[in-house]
Amino acid sequence: MTSVNRLMRAIRVFEFGNPEVLKLCTDVPVPSPGEDQVLVRVRACGINPVETYIRAGAYARKPTLPYTPGTDIAGVVEDVGKKVTSFKNGDRVFATSTITGGYAEYALCSSSTVYPLPDQLNFKQGAALSVPYLTAYRALCHKAHAKPGEVVLVHGASGGVGIAACQIARAYGLKVFGTAGTPAGLDLILKNGAHKAFNHRETITERQIILIKLRRLLEDKELMLYWKCCPMLISAMICASCLPAAE
């Protein structure tokens, strides 16, 4: 499964722990694709919170040590297996998962997880597609069954999944409210689809006022989509009672 005499640089983890366990190795064999696999020369790799939990050994799923982290990648096809017909050497692609890890010069992927990278997207954008955008789409469309004209509150909207949620919800015709904790974050979510932005770090009194204002904005809606995003939990639920009644 490795190419003879070809070595690459890769980040390897030999023990679980703090960021210091990430080691740059220069003698990692370049993998060779199996019959239904694609070898991608990595040009960009996404960094997601879940990967830090895995690295620390705090996640339910622990890879066998040593391993190379990295799930979302974008790059150029270097080689393909004999059963792969959808891609050829030189194609620009992004992948939603890897077999050998994305923190490397080359990554091996199942052909079913590789997709053409649109010309209008650069490699960095391509590497940011999978976890943030597929998570947001699944939560909004598959789980919450969002419909045009409904209202969504994206809590913690300035993160990767939050930004994706704002963009997708706005494109689907929803009324989008978002929260962030800094002026820069508030500005960011307004530029990425939110109709209104609220600071979730205000004092309790101010927060209560914000929620009352939101309640009044939503009072003509029978249903509100409430999105709760946090590092260990990303969920979407249909919730009409998540805001306190206006007094």
Q: Are residues 104 and 210 in the same domain?
A: no
Q: Which of 109, 128, 147 is the last residue of a domain?
A: 128
Q: Are residues 115 and 137 in the same domain?
A: no
In the predicted structure, residue 122 carries a pLDDT above the cut 80: yes
Domain range for residue 190?
131-238
pTM of the predicted structure, to 2 decimals: 0.76
Q: What is the pLDDT of residues 136-169, one digit of tens each?
A: 999 999 988 889 998 888 988 999 999 999 999 9
> Within this chain, do residues 123 and 174 fall inside the same structural domain, yes or no?
no
Contact 203, 130 (CB under 8 A): no
Domain assignment of residue 137, yes or no: yes
The structural domain count of the chain equals 2
- Quick one: 149 and 118 in the same domain? no
Dump pLDDT digits (tens) for 189-240. Answer: 999 999 989 888 875 455 655 665 666 555 544 334 444 443 323 333 333 3
Residue carrying structure tokens 């060779």:
32
| CATH number of the domain where residue 222 is located | 3.40.50.720
CATH code for position 41: 3.90.180.10
Report whether 77 contacts 39 (CB < 8 A).
yes
pLDDT for the residue numbered 25: 97
**Is pLDDT of 242 > 70?**
no
- CB-based contact 40:111 (threshold 8 Å): no
- Give the residue from 108, 128, 148 where a domain finishes: 128
In whole angstroms, give the CA distance from residue 227 to residue 118. Answer: 29
Q: Are residues 143 and 118 in the same domain?
A: no
Q: Does residue 103 form part of some domain?
A: yes
- Domain-embedded: residue 244: no
| Residue 61 shares a structural domain with residue 81 | yes
- Residue 203 confidence (pLDDT): 55
Q: What percent of the chain has pLDDT over 90?
A: 65
Q: Look at residues 30, 133, 38 and name the one whose alpha carbon lies nearest to residue 91.
A: 38
Domain limit, last residue, from 96, 128, 160: 128
Same domain membership, residue 141 and residue 109: no
Q: What is the CA radius of gyration of the chain?
A: 21
Q: Does residue 30 lie within any of the structural domains?
A: yes
78 within some domain: yes
Considering the domain architecture, whether residues 113 and 72 belong to the same structural domain is answered as: yes
Q: What is the mean pLDDT of residues 242-247?
A: 38
Asked if 100 and 19 sit in the same domain, the reply is yes
| Same-domain pairing of 83 and 189 | no
Residues 165 and 120 in one domain: no
Q: Strand pairing of 224-230 and 151-155?
A: parallel
Do 119 and 135 share a domain, yes or no?
A: no
